[in-house]
Amino acid sequence: MPAVLVERAQNPAHGDYSVTLPLKLARTLHRPPMAIATELSTAMALAPSLGRVALAAPGFINITLEPAWLQAQLAPIAEAGERWGRSDVGQRTRVQVEFVSSNPTGPMLFSHARGAVVGDVVARVLDAAGFRVQREYYINDKGRQVRLFGESIAARLQDLPVPEGGYSGSYIDEIAREAATKGLTAEPTALAEFGMTWVQQRITADLSRLSVRHDNFFSESSLYTGWDQDTMRKLRDLGRIEEKDGAIWFKTDGEKNEVLIKRDGYPTYFWSDILYHRDKFLKRGFDRVVDVWGADHQGQVGRVKEALTVLGIDPARLSVLLVQLVSVKRGEETVRMSRRAGVGISLKEMLDEVGPDAVRYFFLLRSADAQMEFDVELARRQSSENPVYYAQYAHARLANVLKLGGEVVGPIALERLSSQWELDLMRVMLRWPDVVRESAEAFEPHRLAFFTDELAAAIHRFYKNCRVVTDDAPLTAARLLLSRAARVTIANALGLMGVSAPDRM
């Protein structure tokens, strides 16, 4: 049997939902799709109060929800409040979301903050879908880049040139000056430790302004206190280790082996990834792990999953979201980013300029794996052209209407909520639980922004065409209930995106 999919109809004229199962069964059953559709539609026994069924060539079953059923959902939505859209589909499954994990060797660039928002919203959505979520930041505090970071600070302290491949920029000057006031000498290891703490404090402060939080900060160096030796023994016993050219290699199933420990004794990122993920699954016992990585790490996904397989861990338990970087557009100028060279726009600068709501909303307007350009002028514009302003204004309009309407007393004429704009708004609202569930299952937070755009447009059309507070008390009461349910829905949608829902604009 093929999967039975009940999908939203592409054309509203065809109803709310469509079932294509008759088309899929036709070849197997050797019967015409319309004959199968007729039999299935009879067997569905859809309650008349819920909706009506219609058949369409060449074999579609279309379902249209009854207005009375739509109207009856408003009170439960309004009463559910913040619970509206939440579910237990995750059944308390333990999931770790590891995101940001920016090297503590320089301020967080704005372009890298996209992964922070994506990871944070994935965690929020999983929590809303009933998963037990841990948010983790992996601190890369070991390896060659840390040594270069310490040497760069030491060079600045001694007024020497930056070492090849080292770090420059005004923040190195700040770290060096502060290190001098603390009485630190030009010893690279101690300076690297001091500098990483200095940088991490500022990254954490910027993330807090962006409403991004982590439950745990995991140090890479903690993997090299015995866990690395245990894992190396395990791989040796499995026949997966080879020593060649002064380095230690992982023997893959393919033609190309991978270096674990380089000739200079430094571990590769791949080796740390193996240790880290084995720790996640075996030591800490997460059922699922979601990693949010930059798109430039795409080549690492397959080899990490192969290593997990070798170690007896089902690679399907690991999902990796690849996030494309962001270019920033100011008028006609596009700004490039480089942490090592100390150029580009920091997250702090952009938060100061456009605010956290615009940053978060804009990052969710595209799928994470699609490149995007952040238009600063558009993000600052207070008009319907700005998506975040448009959505927040929809919430503010409803808040104002509800304040004007006051408490509802007397009869409520729900059956009179029959205009195109009222019914369309109800239909959009009722999709919210599906949007949350689908976003959680697919790890696709951009679905929230797509839905919020559509919901905001439906709210604005309703507001423009349907006067809420009138002399007609039963109709006013019904439209106030619709406004309350719509306000709950858009507030929850903005809340899951980490965007504020203001009562006035």
Please give, one letter per residue, the 3-state secondary structure of 279-291. Answer: HHHHHCCCCEEEE
Q: 69-85+383-496 — its CATH code?
A: 1.10.730.10
Q: Which of 93, 130, 95, 99 is nearest to 114 (CA)?
A: 99
Please report the DSSP string for 47-108 in residue order: -TTTEEEEEETTTEEEEEE-HHHHHHTHHHHHHHGGGTT---TTTT-EEEEE-----TTSPP
* CATH number 3.20.20.100 is the correct assignment for the domain at 99-220+324-380: no
What pLDDT is recorded for position 77? Answer: 98
Give pLDDT, residue 117. Answer: 98
pLDDT of the residue at 341: 42
Domain range list for the chain: 6-65, 69-85+383-496, 99-220+324-380
Find the radius of gyration of the CA atoms of the chain.
28
Q: Which residues of the chain have pLDDT under 70?
A: 335-344
- Bridge partners (DSSP) of residue 346 are 109
First to last CA, the chain: 53
Instruction: Specify the pLDDT at position 85.
Output: 98
| Predicted local distance difference test score (pLDDT) of residue 314 | 98
- Residue 344: predicted pLDDT: 63
**Quick one: tokens of 269?**
């990122």
Dist CA 473 CA 74 (whole Å): 18
Q: Is 485 helix (H, G, I), strand (E, B) or coil?
A: helix
d(CA 325, CA 7): 33
- The sheet with strand 132-139 has its strands ordered as 216-219, 132-139, 94-98, 288-294, 318-323
Looking at domain 6-65, what is its CATH homologous superfamily?
A: Arginyl tRNA synthetase N-terminal domain (3.30.1360.70)
Q: Where are the alpha helices (DSSP H) in 256-334?
A: 269-278, 298-310
Inter-residue contact 150 to 195 (CB < 8 Å) = yes
In whole angstroms, give the CA distance from residue 242 to residue 341: 37
List, for residues 355-399, the tens digit of each pLDDT value. 999 999 999 999 999 999 999 999 999 999 999 999 999 999 999
329 burial (CB, 10 Å; 0-12 / 13-18 / 19+) is middle
Which pLDDT score is estimated for 340? 43
**Are 166 and 155 spatial neighbours (Cβ–Cβ below 8 Å)?**
yes
